[in-house]
A and B are shown apart, each in its own frame.
Chain A
Amino acid sequence: IAGITQAPTSQILAAGRRMTLRCTQDMRHNAMYWYRQDLGLGLRLIHYSNTAGTTGKGEVPDGYSVSRANTDDFPLTLASAVPSQTSVYFCASSPGTGAHTGELFFGEGSRLTVL
């Protein structure tokens, strides 16, 4: 089934540990994004990639890093997790260009709890 796959779906993590959230899409979309969603707040962009080999910082990039070695994969790494990174993380992709990059396809989310 075509779409975006995220892993893990849920994780409890000790503060200070390193964690990588995986994201894979099979739709050959150029643009990919990582968002976090917290209660009472809108989706906030962490990092994005417009095409393989390029990445950019979003609204809340501190404490996170990404890579885009190929079209399909866009992992998000927390180098040293802190409790404020407790959130639901969504990976998304977009087939369009310009304004049509707003038509996003989302993965099912990764619920991360940092203790």
Chain B
Amino acid sequence: GQNIDQPTEMTATEGAIVQINCTYQTSGFNGLFWYQQHAGEAPTFLSYNVLDGLEEKGRFSSFLSRSKGYSYLLLKELQMKDSASYLCAVMDSNYQLIWGAGTKLIIKP
């Protein structure tokens, strides 16, 4: 079966760096996506990786290793507004998105 694993919850301190991991097993691979979802709100697109390596976008970076079935989202200079759930999703060979359950990130002052 297809599976996306990510930690349920993480806690970090304002101003620090946090890495949210995602491992996947899917039928084929057409890219990995990260979304941010604040409580009670809709998910919003953060990043897309299809090739191995690091993609940087401001304070957020996303890394992919296709051979290891692994990605991480790196958040630097954490701000209180970064408190949210972060969803990892993989597009399989049928161009269907398979979603992880999300990682709830709690930022403490």
Contacts and interface: CB of A to CB of B under 8 A. Distances in A.
A28 B43 CA distance: 20
A44 B97 CA distance: 9
B4 A42 contact: yes
Given A42-B100, A43-B87, A102-B91, A108 B41 contact: yes
A106 B95 contact: no
Contacts of A99: 30-31, 48, 50, 91, 95
A104 B36 CA distance: 12
A103 B35 CA distance: 9
B101 interface: yes
A53 interface: no
B99 interface: yes
Given A99-B31, A102-B91, A45 B48 contact: no
> Size class of B's contact patch?
20 to 34
Contact of B102 (A42, A58, A98, A104): A42
> Size class of A's contact patch?
20 to 34
Contacts, number: 55
A108 B42 contact: yes
Nearest to A6: B42
Contacts of B102: 42
B43 A102 contact: no
A109 B91 contact: no
A107 B33 CA distance: 18
A101 interface: yes
15 contacts: A40-B101, A42-B89, A42-B100, A43-B43, A43-B87, A43-B89, A99-B95, A102-B30, A102-B31, A102-B48, A102-B97, A103-B33, A104-B35, A106-B44, A109-B41
Interface of B: 4, 30-31, 33, 35, 41-45, 48, 50, 87, 89, 91, 95-102
